[in-house]
Chains A and B, each alone.
Chain A
Amino acid sequence: MLAFHLIPYAVAAWLFLCGLYGIVTSGHLVHTVISLVVLQTSTYVLLLAVGFRWGAVAPVFADISPGVVTVDPVVQALMLTDVVVEATVVALLLAMVVKVHEKAGTLSPDDLRMMRG
């Protein structure tokens, strides 16, 4: 059953590779930024998989009594703030892309030759 236990980690690794593939083969700056979002989701899948417990409930005791077995709240807490925060970082990257388009007229990395060494 080892393969079964590896499923979420395999998914996380696959997502990570998909994101990297998107960046490495990108022909459009917005595509590069969205591939970064895919990379991000890979880390979320990993964190949530690490904290999971079969048969446990959510770590909210509003309607259950304390003492019931819950999943790990720490990884959820880590992820929670990350989601909103990385959305704004993506917004920052897209602002750069918008400005590049405004100044250079193109969004294809191959046509942007200013940084060539």
Chain B
Amino acid sequence: MNVKWRLGMFFIAGACFLFFYLIAARNLPPWGHYPGPYGDVISSLAVYQRHATDVVNAIDYDYRGFDTLGEEFILFTSIIGVMLLLRDPKPRGGTAESDEGLSKTVKVSAGGLFGITLIFGLYICTHGQLTPGGGFQGGVIVATAFMLVYIAENLRRFKAIASHPLMEVLEALGAALYALVGVSALAVGLPFLTNWIPLGTTGDVFSSGTIAIISASVGLEVATGFILLSYTYLQDIVSGREE
């Protein structure tokens, strides 16, 4: 279609879109005066019902845990999809890729940051039920720590970690663990994904029952998933550059 026609269509339709959006927004409650009730009900209940101080993660892994299971599997599916699409990297012609390009300062700093980032990521993963964080965010930080290995060293060292056969197993395990926690509730006669483990004391790391377990399993899945993702891309791009 002619580019002018396309743009014309876009501007007219865009103006209509803006119009619909804004007159709908006029009828929303005024900005900054959220009326509830869903958020308020959960805010007031979460600490008492689940001994979790981070209400957002309590919603994510308990009240609306089934949604998060679906979202985690979207992540899992996308990573399978990327591995599927990039499954035949072009054959590498030359020798192992050189270490040139990054300065010594960058490499040493990256190496030094690896440990701190990893610990920080694990902290975020395991303290999701207490403070903002949780599996998704912590997992990304842990994956970033391993990306620092690639920057500090070279692709060969990163490959030794990322292409280890255990990596895919751990990723699938992280995804499966979430569903298995749900099935465990079925085994004790409760509906799927019920938080049936003893809830512990509010404020402890080992509190809020299955929320902590689910958060940890999501962290495992996201971390290994992003490492696999990065490795799949790097393998494809770096091998391409060798041509």
Which A residues are closer than 8 A to B by beta carbons? 2, 4-10, 12-13, 16-17, 20-21, 24-25, 49-54, 58-62, 66-67, 70-78, 80-85, 88-89, 91-92, 95-96, 98-99, 102
Kindly state the separation between the CA atoms of A19 and B6 in the bound complex, as whole angstroms. 15
Query: Quick check: B56 and A59 within 8 Å, CB to CB?
Result: yes
Task: Please provide the 7 A-B residue pairs with the shortest distance between their CB atoms, ordered closest to farther.
Answer: A72-B39, A9-B25, A88-B78, A77-B59, A54-B32, A13-B21, A59-B55
Contact partners of B137 in chain A: CB under 8 A: 80, 84
Query: Quick check: B229 and A74 within 8 Å, CB to CB?
Result: no
Query: Quick check: B22 and A53 within 8 Å, CB to CB?
Result: no
Q: How would residues 1 to 19 of chain B score, 1 for a CB under 8 Å from any chain A CB and 0 otherwise?
A: 0010011001000100110
Kindly state the separation between the CA atoms of A69 and B114 in the bound complex, as whole angstroms. 39
Kindly state the separation between the CA atoms of A13 and B119 in the bound complex, as whole angstroms. 40
The answer, yes or no, to whether B122 is at the interface (CB within 8 Å) is: no
A85 → chain B, closest Cβ, in Å?
A: 5
The residue in chain A whose Cβ has the minimal distance to the Cβ of B78 is A88
A-B contact pairs, 18 of them (CB 8 A): A5-B25, A13-B22, A24-B7, A53-B34, A58-B132, A59-B55, A61-B53, A66-B44, A72-B39, A74-B38, A77-B60, A78-B67, A80-B134, A81-B71, A84-B137, A88-B74, A92-B81, A95-B86
Kindly state the separation between the CA atoms of A95 and B235 in the bound complex, as whole angstroms. 12
Query: Quick check: A52 and B34 within 8 Å, CB to CB?
Result: yes
The answer, yes or no, to whether B102 is at the interface (CB within 8 Å) is: no
Contact partners of B86 in chain A: CB under 8 A: 95, 98-99
Which B residues are closer than 8 A to A by beta carbons? 3, 6-7, 10, 14, 17-18, 21-22, 25-26, 28, 30-34, 36, 38-40, 42-44, 46-48, 53-57, 59-60, 64, 67-68, 71-72, 74-75, 78-79, 81-82, 85-86, 90, 130-132, 134, 136-137, 139-140, 203, 222, 225, 229, 232-233, 236-237, 240
Contact of A50 among B28, B71, B82 (CB under 8 A): B28
Contact of A5 among B31, B130, B232 (CB under 8 A): B31
Query: Quick check: B39 and A51 within 8 Å, CB to CB?
Result: yes
Given A5-B31, A50-B34, A95-B85, verify A62-B203 contact (CB < 8 Å).
Answer: yes
Contact of A25 among B7, B136, B225 (CB under 8 A): B7
B93 → chain A, closest Cβ, in Å?
A: 15
Query: Quick check: A84 and B10 within 8 Å, CB to CB?
Result: no
B106 → chain A, closest Cβ, in Å?
A: 24
Contact partners of B22 in chain A: CB under 8 A: 6, 9-10, 13
Query: Quick check: B229 and A84 within 8 Å, CB to CB?
Result: no
Query: Quick check: B17 and A17 within 8 Å, CB to CB?
Result: yes
The residue in chain B whose Cβ has the minimal distance to the Cβ of A55 is B32
Query: Quick check: B17 and A2 within 8 Å, CB to CB?
Result: no
Kindly state the separation between the CA atoms of A80 and B58 in the bound complex, as whole angstroms. 12
Given A20-B10, A58-B132, verify A91-B229 contact (CB < 8 Å).
Answer: yes
Contact partners of A89 in chain B: CB under 8 A: 74, 78
Contact partners of A71 in chain B: CB under 8 A: 34, 39
A97 → chain B, closest Cβ, in Å?
A: 10
The residue in chain B whose Cβ has the minimal distance to the Cβ of A76 is B56
Query: Quick check: B31 and A17 within 8 Å, CB to CB?
Result: no
Kindly state the separation between the CA atoms of A67 and B3 in the bound complex, as whole angstroms. 57
Q: With A13-B21, A54-B32, A60-B132 given, can you name 15 additional A-B contacts, CB distance below 8 Å?
A: A2-B26, A5-B30, A5-B31, A25-B10, A51-B39, A52-B32, A66-B47, A72-B40, A73-B39, A74-B64, A84-B140, A85-B78, A91-B79, A92-B78, A95-B81
